[in-house]
Amino acid sequence: MAKIRVLIVDDEEELVSILVERLRFRGYEAVGVLGGNEAIAKALVQEFDVAVIDVKMPEINGIETLRRLKKIKPSLKIILLTGHRAEDEGEEGLAEGAFDYLIKPVNIEDLTGKINAALALENRE
Amino acid sequence: MNMGSFNDEQLAFFARITASVTHELNNVIAVINEVAGLLGDMIEDIDSAKSVTPEQLTKIRSRLSTQVARGQTIIKRLNRFAHTADEKTLTFDLVAVMDNLTGLCERLAGMKKVKLDFRPRVDSLVISGNPFFLQQCFFEALRLVLDSDCAGDILTIDIRADSNSANIAFSGLDGSKIEIVKSNTHKLEAIMEEVHGRLQLVDADRSLVLSVPLTQQQGRPPQ
């Protein structure tokens, strides 16, 4: 069975590095990048099933990254990461086509649960 | 606390600093949370008869220590900042106060892809006045510069003194002009008036300078 391909996008380098490590430990094919522009460049050359994107990032924020990724990869499932009391941003992301959002710090089981749910929904569609 | 009540602008400034800093602290906690999770993954690995190497554990310890130190620095800065609102008038070291505030503003600047380079011309500059109001001036000036159309990614902040005043200069990003929108300067000019200071663009618009008297700078009375 093919591994689920996940792109992690966050400007917090250490967080990206560990999330990638932990997802790989769980059998996912995970890749990390440190910003929206890098995420778009990566998505143009590599296929992903799910992107996990932090909302608060320099240059282009998570919502704008979502919009641009959806334009070039409409089938890509996107899960947003927001800070505390930032549910509005999560809701805005949902309106823009995100599958769901999680509030940082995230529990890895919650994250993998969302990733799997996003793809299960795709398989049903 | 002998500061009196804050007005809306002062509260907004306090809130912006606090929101930015707590967001950064949340990132520190998020990383620590993931490191703890990674340790849990390793323990699970031991259960499945794989071994954890001393190098892996050393890396975990290093990652934790780094984040703890980062968190401590942020908390120390925020604490120092909060205490500058304790008294209406103080004798204080302007360099130390602005160095601390620059540290607190790093994330805000980073969100604009700008790095703050704090380079005072003096080691310390003791002045008498209201450190909270002066930080509000600094913050509004920084926002003006960050919102300008300057190219580049390094903003130099310099502090120097002449016979009567202390000067805080924000130098053009990579030597470029600071294209400040004049209609946006009213708020800062009003606050500068409160501290009997002035705002000017110098060096062919390559620097924005805040000048305040070395003494008798009382700031806005409590409301």
Model confidence over B89-117: pLDDT tens digits? 889 999 999 999 999 999 999 988 889 99
Identify all chain A residues contacting B22, using CB atoms and an 8 Å cutoff: 84
CB–CB of A83 and B67 under 8 A? Answer: no
Task: Give B152's pLDDT tier (boundaries 50, 70, 90).
Answer: low
Could you read off the pLDDT of A16-53 as tens digits, one per residue?
A: 999 999 999 999 999 999 999 999 999 999 999 999 99
Q: Where are any strands of DSSP class E within A10-124?
A: 29-33, 50-54, 77-82, 100-103
Best of A18, A106, A109 to disrupt the B interface (most B CBs within 10 Å) is A18
Instruction: Give the highest mean pLDDT range of A65-79, B139-153, B191-205.
Output: A65-79
pTM over 0.90? The answer is no
Tell me the sheet residues that pair with B117: B156
Q: Tell whether B30 lies on the interface with A, counting CB pairs under 8 A.
A: yes
- Residues making up chain B, counted from first to last: 223
pLDDT in tens, B33-87: 999 999 999 888 776 767 788 898 999 999 999 999 999 999 999 999 999 988 8
Rounded Cα distance between B210 and B202, Å, is 11
The C-alpha atoms of residue B118 and residue A52 are separated, in whole angstroms, by 35
pLDDT exceeds 60 at position A85: yes
**What mean pLDDT do residues A113-119 have?**
96
User: What type of residue is B203?
Assistant: D
- Is residue A108 within 8 angstroms of chain B, CB to CB? yes
- Asked if A5 is an interface residue toward chain B (Cβ–Cβ < 8 A), one would say no
* Integer Cα distance of A86 and A54 in angstroms: 11
- Residue A51, SS3 per DSSP: strand
Q: How confident is the model at residue A124 (pLDDT cuts 50, 70, 90)?
A: low
Cis preceding-peptide flag for B221 (omega within 30 of 0): no
Q: Is the pLDDT of residue B218 over 70?
A: no
- Whether the pLDDT of residue B215 is over 50: the answer is yes
Give the minimum alpha-carbon distance from A18 to chain B in angstroms, rounded to a whole number.
6
Confidence of residue B223 (pLDDT cuts 50, 70, 90): very low
CA gap A24, A60 in Å, rounded: 27
pLDDT at B159 over 90: yes
CB B145 within 8 A of CB B170: yes
- For residue A12, give the chain B residue with the closest CA: B27
| A14/B66 touch (CB, cutoff 8 Å), yes or no | yes
CA distance A80 to A99: 8
pLDDT in tens, B166-182: 999 998 766 677 777 77
How far is the alpha carbon of B61 from chain A, nearest alpha carbon, in Å?
14
DSSP state of B172: P
The pLDDT score that the predictor gives to residue B222 is 38
In the numeric block, which tokens belong to residue B55?
Answer: 């190098």
Q: Which residues of B fall within a CB distance of 8 Å from A104?
A: 26-27, 30
Residue (of A101, A84, A83) closest to A92 by Cα position? A101
Q: Which of B21, B24, B26 to mutate to test the interface with A (most CBs of A within 10 A)?
A: B26
Encoded tokens for B164: 């009567």
Q: Do B34 and A108 lie within an 8 Å CB cutoff?
A: yes
Q: What is the spatial distance between Cα A25 and Cα B50, in angstroms, rounded to a whole number? A: 13
Angle between helices B131-147 and B186-194 (to 10 degrees): 160
- Mean per-residue pLDDT for B130-138? 93
Nearest CB neighbour to B23, from listed A15, A18, A83:
A83
CA dihedral B63, B52, B54, A27 (to 10 degrees): -40
Q: Are B92 and B181 in contact (CB under 8 A)?
A: no
SS (H, E, C) B116-147: EEECCCCCCCEEEECHHHHHHHHHHHHHHHHH
